[in-house]
Homo-oligomer: A and B are copies of this chain.
Amino acid sequence: MTSTAAEPLFLRACRREPVERTPIWMMRPAGRYLPSYRAVRSKHSFLEMCGTPALSCEVTLQPIDQFGFDAAILFSDILVTLPPMGLEIAFPEKGPVIAQPVRDRAAIDRLVVPDPVAELPHVMEAVRQIRAGLAGRVPLIGFAGAPFTLLTYAVEGGGSKDYVQTKKLLFGDAAAAHALLEKMADTVAAYLAAQVEAGAQTVQIFDSWAGILSPRDFEEYALRWARHVIAKLRAHPAVAAARVPIIYFVNGCAPYLDSYATSGADVLGVDWRIDLSTVRARVGDGVALQGNLDPGALYLPPDQLRARVEAVLDQGGPLGHVFNLGHGVTPETNPEHVRVMVESVKARSWSASR
């Protein structure tokens, strides 16, 4: 037994230190599948909830209290860094809308790299309140969108089916694309460092749309700038002092495993489309993995759901695995099945195998 029992299970798994069992959290635990979340949401807009520390804190703590996840994640949105850069966003039911997307060099040059502490003080206050509310029970994860994923929203003006505007910018004016990515990366690095200074104990960088790229373009446009964020974070005193684990999550990572392994992150998020054992064989033992149950598996009958959880645990193994869904939980999910998933993970002990 070489682990320090004083360090939280989740942080030890992120650092590939020994654990008694695999820790679990879920993307995203505060969502419409949860009745207590919907009760808050019925009284406030999504933007109000992101902008009000007490509300953000309340819904962040709900799933910890109800399911006993091994880590909490700040309730916020990957796009909150865009308005301070100069991009106004609305959040109608159908997803985010940026009325004036940036598609040329002039529009990109008008964007600023904001001071996140000055511009997003409510986020830092939410982090402090959540840490107080958690009272040491489990670690708190901060997060941000990855530079490339933020670029897709800024350029498309929202979500997209075929990302034509993104491709037109990347392939029509690569220099402008990199100028935009650099501003995104500097903003994200400062924003995540500020979250750590406010109390976040781990950070996750969400590259939700990097999976639309060919392998060479993934390296040039997504990975390069995620590395930039990670390197800047590593050099930050607060991040270095606390050995804050950095999680990088590329949704649709299967084609890029060799380069994905070189991101510099402590933990690689893995979506549900690929087996964890395949990923482990390709990325080696130098990095932890997080994932990767299909969110759709929560629609299975409990006995079949348990079997799928077991299969993910078997593939993840005892060292360097954080159990999670491979993508966000869907609104129609039965919360009782979330409970079955958490209990199944917690029932599996690795003590006997050491």
Contacts and interface: CB of A to CB of B under 8 A. Distances in A.
A214 B217 CA distance: 24
The range of chain A's interface size is: 35 or more
Contacts of A294: 167, 213-214, 217
Given A164-B330, A214-B275, 17 more contacts: A159-B161, A162-B330, A163-B296, A167-B294, A167-B296, A168-B296, A168-B299, A171-B297, A172-B299, A172-B300, A214-B273, A215-B273, A215-B274, A217-B294, A252-B273, A254-B254, A255-B278
A272 interface: yes
A274 B254 CA distance: 9
A10 to B, nearest CB: 24
Nearest to A258: B278
B171 A299 contact: yes
Copies of this chain in the oligomer: 2
A167 B299 contact: yes
Interface string A149-179: 0000000000101111011101110000000
A211 interface: yes
Interface of A: 159, 161-164, 166-168, 170-172, 211-215, 217, 252, 254-255, 272-275, 278, 294-297, 299-301, 304, 326, 330, 332
A345 B255 CA distance: 25
B297 A273 contact: no
Nearest to A172: B299
